[in-house]
Structure 1
């Protein structure tokens, strides 16, 4: 198959792309990427020097970055009625804005906290972790306000922004739980967790959750049995 996605099933950014693939119903070869393997790592870096995943390969074309991957798939490989970014200009800007908000202010601080946990104790940075937790708290409040009159992140329809929101919140809430001051965000998160594309992605990742550093805080249905 000429179209392939190189990913790791525990990665939140990979989940974002996988949810989009499930929504768009696009068939791709799903290539498990183990950057700990020297040969796989060298081959991957030859394709994309940043080493960031996921990475979409379409024949000779390499497509990096999750938001670009999602728009590329929607334009080149999905049916016209399966777009995750609307054709209306203003509506598309709102989707891209919400996509950025989840990536920058939920996904990235979440990854900073998890990454710090993986370091040796003497190399940890408690100041950076506190700042990341504060960013998550700020983002929860901002997002709760923006969700006041909408079912999905950018309006009435599931979009690229929701593909970003699901893995962002899934992992972030294991670090900074949603509180009573975020009722709209909590209700939205509940809707995300029932979306078939999200359920499939999390089910496929289930065997790998035992490696998540905060696995004891995962939702009960996804928590490894030995925790």
Structure 2
């Protein structure tokens, strides 16, 4: 087995794949695409012209997109923590929450971050306000969904939680989860306490200056 993950320690979608790798103790090499690591980003771009990460290389086979990578790992390198349940109905619930966290939480957070990365004359206050309003809506829905649940879906730690952990981490930095949403805040805290997530957070600490909104003095 030879697994190489092209990604960045501060990247939310890289975290999403690192978490199941750490959960199952799967051996791999991280090819850090940070500019300080010469050549890694260029090798990524040769294999995947859009140069989006993470990208997993299994032997000579590249696998793109975080959810697909996690499913590939489960199929080829199963471990004690199963990320997608065998039961088809439970698997649908897990995949549904995976998409909700990626699209409705991470996607809205990214709109605010992207605005902050633009030159001041190109920033769009309306875009930011719309994104934050959408985050408030999905925070409220998730708070209700999580009532009585330890993990996001199917009664187990899964792909859905791998998506939730980085999306809620950065979304809360971008537009803080209101105190009224106690279920969601408690769920985020449980994710941060999970050793796999805690490891990803700690490995990313040297890069916090990259966060364009300014990393808060917490987490």
> One fold, TM greater than 0.5?
yes
Distance in 1 (CA, whole Å) between partners of 2:174 and 2:185 is: 15
Gaps of 5+ in 2: none
Correspondence 1:47-196 to 2 at 5 A:
47-79=47-79, 81-196=80-195
SS of residue paired to 2:173: coil
Quote the residue 1:31 is aligned against.
31
Distance in 1 (CA, whole Å) between partners of 2:117 and 2:210 is: 11
Give the drift of 1:36: 8.9
Q: TM-score when scaled to structure 1?
A: 0.90
8 Å CA contact 1:25, 1:78 repeated in 2? no
Number of matched pairs: 219
Distance in 2 (CA, whole Å) between partners of 1:22 and 1:176 is: 28
Distance in 2 (CA, whole Å) between partners of 1:84 and 1:40 is: 28
Distance in 2 (CA, whole Å) between partners of 1:110 and 1:180 is: 18
Distance in 2 (CA, whole Å) between partners of 1:30 and 1:39 is: 13
SS of residue paired to 1:82: coil
8 Å CA contact 1:95, 1:160 repeated in 2? yes
Residues 193, 40 of structure 1: alpha-carbon distance in 2 compared, 3 angstrom cutoff: closer
Q: Which moved more, 1:120-129 or 1:56-65?
A: 120-129
Q: Which moved more, 1:134-143 or 1:1-10?
A: 1-10
SS of residue paired to 1:173: helix
Distance in 1 (CA, whole Å) between partners of 2:37 and 2:119 is: 22
Give the drift of 1:37: 8.3
Give the drift of 1:2: 2.4
Give the drift of 1:187: 1.1
Gaps of 5+ in 1: 223-227
8 Å CA contact 1:174, 1:218 repeated in 2? no
Residues 46, 92 of structure 1: alpha-carbon distance in 2 compared, 3 angstrom cutoff: same
Distance in 2 (CA, whole Å) between partners of 1:82 and 1:188 is: 19
Give the drift of 1:210: 2.1
Distance in 2 (CA, whole Å) between partners of 1:218 and 1:146 is: 29
Q: Which moved more, 1:148-157 or 1:136-145?
A: 148-157
1:2 maps to 2:26? no
Q: Which moved more, 1:123-132 or 1:160-169?
A: 123-132
After superposition, give the CA deviation of every residue in 1:86-131 in whole Å (9 maximum; x if it has no partner): 0000000000000000000111111121121111101212222111
RMSD, aligned α-carbons:
1.8
Distance in 1 (CA, whole Å) between partners of 2:204 and 2:8 is: 9
Distance in 1 (CA, whole Å) between partners of 2:153 and 2:15 is: 19
8 Å CA contact 2:117, 2:212 repeated in 1? yes
